[in-house]
Structure 1
Amino acid sequence: MEKIEVYLEYEIHKNRPGLLGDVASLLGMMSINIITINGVENQRRGMLLLINNEEDINRLRSVLETIVNIQVTKLRKPKLRDRLAVRHGRYIQRDADDKKTFRFVRDELGLLVDFMAELYKKPGHKLIGIRGMPRVGKTESIVASSVCASKRWVFVSSTLLKQTVRSQLADDERGEEHIYIIDGIVSTRRSSEKHWQLVREIMRTSTTKVVEHPDIFVQQTEYSLEDFDYIIELRNDQDEEITYEVVDSVDTGFSTFDFN
């Protein structure tokens, strides 16, 4: 019988020597294997477990409730955020009101790259928007996560090295193994109709598309933020405000915001 993978997370009310050993011993007596363990979010510890059956999950919950100084906060089939929390020792911050918006700061680039790589690995259409101020690491994170996911990246529009505005793709730049990167500012402010024909063609494909500056992208197109499956916000620190005030409304020349 195939075992079930389960995520266990508990909050430590009072840490004492041997507490982790007590939990590990309990799991061992129940023939539950620990795959990964790590501290997550302050006084919480997370574990990925292999459990024999659904009944053992309920038994484990009942037994854990008898251990003094801990409180079980999660016992479920692992979600992507659970796996990354155990791997990196911290949780991805998610917007309380908009569940598809995830927030990162610059010192969490490793976590961000891992998160995006896991999204890329899922087959089918995905539209991902990424917000952030200049030089915070948006484009670099997109490319690095493509490498981690063993995907090829294609710049449809960009200012990473020089201004890029594509109007066609080569035959070897098509397919689900590609990640298509669109700069929302360049595409809406400095592009031709042929470029937009290509953008619309790519948007209709069953592939992953990543749009930098999605708020600008939707201002002058038929697309809306509702079309995005994920919105990622990347800041230098938690208090930084992402603003587009420095973007020129004129379609000639570069604004300081264009370079990242």
Structure 2
Amino acid sequence: MENRIEWYLEYEIQYNRPGLLGDISSLLGMLSINIVTINGVEDSRRGMLLLCNSEDQINRLKSILDTMDTIRVTKLRLPKLRDRLAVRHGRYIHSDIDDKKTFRFVRGELGLLVDFMAELYKKEGHKLIGIRGMPRVGKTESIVAASVCANKRWLFVSSTLLKQTVRSQLIKDEYDQENLFIIDGIVSTRRANEKHWQLIREVMRIPSTKVVEHPDIFVQQTEYSLDDFDYIIELRSNEEEEITYESQVKPGFSEDDGFSMFDF
């Protein structure tokens, strides 16, 4: 018996007449292709995860769909992560036209963002993820929520979530490659000492997931560059919001203005 294969079908509705979905479902049934999940994605488009026994079934399906004037097939491929999330949430993750590793979200899409990051966390091995955004837009909360969804233990190497924290050591079990390490780029580059940077270099060598808030600031005074990042996530309050650092990075501040240093 052949292994069953999942495919992603997405089509744009050209003429939304009654019974259109029923006709497509009947066609899939005649070709012995099962519908796993279906949802509307991006306005007049509909996405489906399909399950079939062979690529020949998919080729036959495409040849028939191409003759239908009521729809236009936009995607028919082995499903990518973005396809699965589009069907699950009913909307697509938007990536930068010029930089395909940059993905954009607005605050109203936090559920989609958390799901996306959780799927990234589940992948084994080293991953370096940067997340940009203005204060109080939900960056750290989304990182932590995704850790919970992915069943990962998270560790703050530097953070401002509860109080500003910088670590210079980890205890033995915290070096586990299953852990998720969170770094605040502004705190680390503006307020940390050499012990902290030694720890960051150690963390970077662990084959695990690292998430850096404010990656642009992080790379300014380090040996790392944006090319080292596997994914860049941008989170905005709305689509028009510009991400700037003038209000987030204040020159001349010291460790006396409410800053706590933690050495473990």
Find the aligned partners of 2:63 and 2:196 in 1 and give their Cα distance.
Answer: 60
1:249 to 2:228 alignment: no
> With structure 1 as the length reference, what TM-score do the two structures score?
0.96
AA partner of residue 200 (structure 2): V
**Shift, 1:177, TM fit:** 1.5
The SS at the match of 2:163 is coil
Residue aligning to 1:152: 153
Residue aligning to 1:122: 123
Residue aligning to 2:4: 3
The SS at the match of 2:57 is helix
**Shift, 1:14, TM fit:** 1.2
The SS at the match of 1:239 is coil
Q: For 1:240-260, what per-residue CA distance to the aligned partner results, in whole angstroms no more than 9, with x for missing partners?
A: 0000112113241599xxxxx
Q: For 1:110-158, what per-residue CA distance to the aligned partner results, in whole angstroms no more than 9, with x for missing partners?
A: 0000000000000000000000000000000000000000000000000
Residue aligning to 1:258: none
Find the aligned partners of 2:81 and 2:93 in 1 and give their Cα distance.
Answer: 10
Find the aligned partners of 2:58 and 2:51 in 1 and give their Cα distance.
Answer: 10
Query: Once structures 1 and 2 are overlaid, which stretch shifts more, 49-58 or 244-253?
Result: 244-253
Q: Is the 8 A contact 2:15 2:70 kept in 1?
A: yes
Q: For 1:31-71, what per-residue CA distance to the aligned partner results, in whole angstroms no more than 9, with x for missing partners?
A: 00000000000000000000110111111100111223101
Residue aligning to 2:225: 224
Residue aligning to 2:42: 41
Q: Is the 8 A contact 2:125 2:209 kept in 1?
A: yes
1:105 to 2:106 alignment: yes
> With structure 2 as the length reference, what TM-score do the two structures score?
0.95
Residue aligning to 2:85: 84
The SS at the match of 2:241 is coil
The SS at the match of 1:215 is helix
**Shift, 1:97, TM fit:** 0.1
Residue aligning to 1:26: 27
Q: For 1:196-247, what per-residue CA distance to the aligned partner results, in whole angstroms no more than 9, with x for missing partners?
A: 0000010111110000000000000010000000000000000000001121
Find the aligned partners of 1:149 and 1:214 in 2 and give their Cα distance.
Answer: 23
Find the aligned partners of 2:26 and 2:124 in 1 and give their Cα distance.
Answer: 39
Find the aligned partners of 2:213 and 2:47 in 1 and give their Cα distance.
Answer: 33
The SS at the match of 1:37 is strand
> Equivalent residues in 2 for 1:138-217 (5 A)?
138-217=139-218
Instruction: Percent identity, please.
Output: 76
Q: Is the 8 A contact 2:8 2:75 kept in 1?
A: yes
AA partner of residue 227 (structure 2): E
Q: Is the 8 A contact 2:175 2:206 kept in 1?
A: no
AA partner of residue 163 (structure 2): K
Count of aligned residue pairs for this structure pair: 255
Find the aligned partners of 1:57 and 1:155 in 2 and give their Cα distance.
Answer: 47
The SS at the match of 2:8 is strand
Q: RMSD value over aligned CA atoms?
A: 1.1
The SS at the match of 2:67 is coil
* Gap regions ≥5 residues in structure 1: 256-260
AA partner of residue 91 (structure 1): Y
Find the aligned partners of 1:251 and 1:186 in 2 and give their Cα distance.
Answer: 11
Find the aligned partners of 2:172 and 2:14 in 1 and give their Cα distance.
Answer: 59
